A and B are shown apart, each in its own frame.
Chain A
Amino acid sequence: MAVVLPFSEPELRLLGALLRNKVRFLVVGLSAAALQGAPVVTQDIDLWFEDLSDPKLAAALRKIGAAYVPPFNLNPPMLAGPGTQPFDVVLRMDGLDDFRTEYRRAIEVRIGKLRLKVLPLSRIITSKQAANRPKDRLVIPLLRDALAAQSILPKHRTKQRKSTMRSGAPVQNSRAR
């Protein structure tokens, strides 16, 4: 059966360049929740970078013909160039600890040959609670139910392709509410 990849070739090249250049970032938001089984829909993939002024980030983007565009006027911070379209740059995450602490807690999810660091579901709930926008309030019950569903499954029961999901964090079996 064909492998379903959520990313196009240019998008995979972008992620690969970031990882090869050791740029530290986390997949956050609803795409991170979807990777962990939450039945949510999203249009983009939020990336939280440790340091947007890191020369390694600029070098990685340059290699694939892309660049980071800082915010100006009504334009949010963004990546521009090939393979950047589905990715949104997140400058801060409400309700969470600093990047380094959250990075340590992150789980690792394999997408093809790439190993992405992903914010755990319990921390996504915490950030949505803190952000408290109408769209966050709508999705929180669903995320809580997904976390509850995960709590009964032993780790090995989730579909993986050879240690697809690894956790540096405690098992997510505590309810956030």
Chain B
Amino acid sequence: MKRNAKSSGNRRAALMRWAQRLDGEVRAVVQRHPEADADNVRLTLLALQVTPEERLARSLRRGRGFAVFRT
């Protein structure tokens, strides 16, 4: 039980570091390009963490989903 709590704590700490690193990168982009929208920048940086095939698959899935609602 104690080990599980420790492992869960480590995982949480690692995720916090990941989120902080992402935030740092978003701020770096917005600092260099003040006209850029931080949400778009963050979504791009997140997309770049998955493979190109996953990026395209998501884009098509969402695009086709919207089309269903539109018809």
A residues near B (Cβ < 8 Å) are 3-6, 30-31, 34-43, 45, 86, 109-112, 141-142, 144-146, 148-153, 157-161, 164-165, 175
Query: Could you tell me the dominant secondary structure of chain B's interface residues?
Result: helix
Give CA–CA (A34, B48) in the complex, Å: 10
* Known pairs A148-B33, A151-B32; A111 contacts B62 (CB<8 A): no
Report 16 cross-chain contacts, Cβ distance below 8 Å, ordered by A residue: A6-B53, A6-B57, A34-B59, A38-B44, A38-B47, A41-B60, A41-B63, A43-B60, A43-B67, A86-B60, A141-B37, A150-B48, A153-B25, A153-B48, A165-B52, A175-B33
- When distances are taken between beta carbons in the complex, the residues of chain B under 8 Å from A5 are 53, 57
* Known pairs A40-B59, A152-B28; A35 contacts B45 (CB<8 A): no
- When distances are taken between beta carbons in the complex, the residues of chain A under 8 Å from B54 are 4
**In the assembled complex, B64 has its CB within 8 A of some CB on chain A:** yes
Nearest residue (CB) in A for B54 is A4
A35 close to B55 (CB less than 8 A):
yes
- When distances are taken between beta carbons in the complex, the residues of chain B under 8 Å from A34 are 47, 55-56, 58-60
- When distances are taken between beta carbons in the complex, the residues of chain A under 8 Å from B4 are none
Number of interface residues of B (CB under 8 A): 31
- When distances are taken between beta carbons in the complex, the residues of chain B under 8 Å from A4 are 51, 53-54, 57
Nearest residue (CB) in B for A27 is B56
A159 close to B62 (CB less than 8 A):
no
Nearest residue (CB) in A for B57 is A6
Chain B nearest CB, measured from A74 CB (Å)? 19
A42 close to B63 (CB less than 8 A):
yes
Chain B nearest CB, measured from A148 CB (Å)? 4
